[in-house]
Amino acid sequence: MTKKRILTGDRPTGKLHLGHLVGSLQNRVKLQDTYEQFVMVADVQALTDNFDNPQKVRDNVKEVVLDYLAVGIDPQKTTIFIQSLIPEIAELTIYYLNLVTLERVLRNPTVKDEIKQKGYGKNIPAGFAMYPVSQAADITFCKASLVPVGEDQLPMIEQTREIVRRFNTLYGDVLVEPEALVGNIKRLPGTDGQAKMSKSIGNCIYLSDSVDEVNKKVMGMYTDPARVHPTDPGNPEGNPVFIYHDAFNLNKKEVEDFKVRYRTGKIGDIEIKKRLAEVINELLEPMRKRRKEYEDQPDKVDEILRSGNHRAQEVAKEVMAEVRKAMKIDYSL
């Protein structure tokens, strides 16, 4: 029996943070033994909204790969590769564009939010609007059946499933319809209490942050704004400090005890935050060590990418041969 496949990835537009960890990275580490896993640095997708700043994308490719290795994605088990080095993905995107309508891509709720957030108005770059189609090509070029992602990516997986069904109906059963897998913590709020950790807002704790950075960010976190004194009763519900404790503190009894004392005004924010900073630093410490080991061996990282790209290329060739045959473009000239 060959293993089922996973494909997932990230845009290299910044370092990865705790939101990525709970949303997707933890699942990747957990599932790399049971699946044949492909993890892609989505540089082509990153260029769809950063085409005017290619240096930023280039610089972050390395950062994201180091983050992958730091969290424990094991290059012996997982194929790590760079999107632009697999031109079959671009080819597949072109074919898939026939299978979706303009109206459908612009209805994608995540794309809609991003268009608003970036203030494109009527001047939406076509490449940007189409990136979910390109993402369908990312996922299907290796026939992945599972996609560990954050909640915001669910519309992309839905769109991919539609494209797969359309393709298979038109051309025969070639592609695999993937499912999404979201982490236990659906959405990690930012340190400022906003709904999402986002590098553009600057409310992130990065996996590569130092002990001092973590301490500073945690001590400055948004908590219950109605609470002024440690003796005021506070509300742990929806409070990011408690959401983080729930996500990262393995001592559940301690967290419950904090909540009771918080509600009854018997503990200060400072004590709870100090403990949270400790918990996060314990979580990140092994990642910092591993990151440093790889940072000190750039040749090794290059070799990991070289062999990852090679493996991804092999798979892309196999699947594209089937796709071209199904689409009657398998010329033997």
CB nearer to ligand TRP: pick between 45 and 191: 45
Site string (34-73) toward ligand TRP, x via CB under 6 A? --------x--x----------------------------
Closest CA to 268 of 238, 233, 300: 233
Least distance between ligand TRP and beta carbon 157 (Å): 8
Count of residues in contact with ligand TRP, rule CB under 6 A? 13
| Distance (Å, whole) CA 138 – CA 127 | 15
Least distance between ligand TRP and beta carbon 314 (Å): 19
Least distance between ligand TRP and beta carbon 92 (Å): 12
Q: Which long-range contacts (CB under 8 A, 24 or more apart) does 167-172 make?
A: 167/96, 167/99, 167/326, 170/99, 171/326, 171/327, 172/326
Least distance between ligand TRP and beta carbon 188 (Å): 14
According to the binding rule CB under 6 A, does residue 135 interact with ligand TRP? yes
227 three-state secondary structure: coil
Per CB under 6 A, the segment of 61-69, 147-155, 190-198, 311-319 that binds ligand TRP is 147-155
Residues 9-38 close enough to bind ligand TRP by CB under 6 A: 9-11
Cβ-proximal residue to ligand TRP, closest one:
42
Least distance between ligand TRP and beta carbon 315 (Å): 15
According to the binding rule CB under 6 A, does residue 140 interact with ligand TRP? no
Q: What totals of helices (H) and strands (E) does the chain contain, helices first?
A: 15, 5
Residue with tokens 């990011």, as numbered in its chain: 240
| Distance (Å, whole) CA 212 – CA 26 | 24
Give the contacts of 276 (CB within 8 A, at least 6 positions apart): 218, 221, 241, 244, 245, 248, 249
Per CB under 6 A, the segment of 4-12, 66-74, 205-213, 236-244 that binds ligand TRP is 4-12
Give the contacts of 137 (CB within 8 A, at least 6 positions apart): 89, 90, 92, 93, 96
Q: Which residues bind ligand TRP (CB under 6 A)?
A: 7-11, 42, 45, 135, 138-139, 147, 149, 153
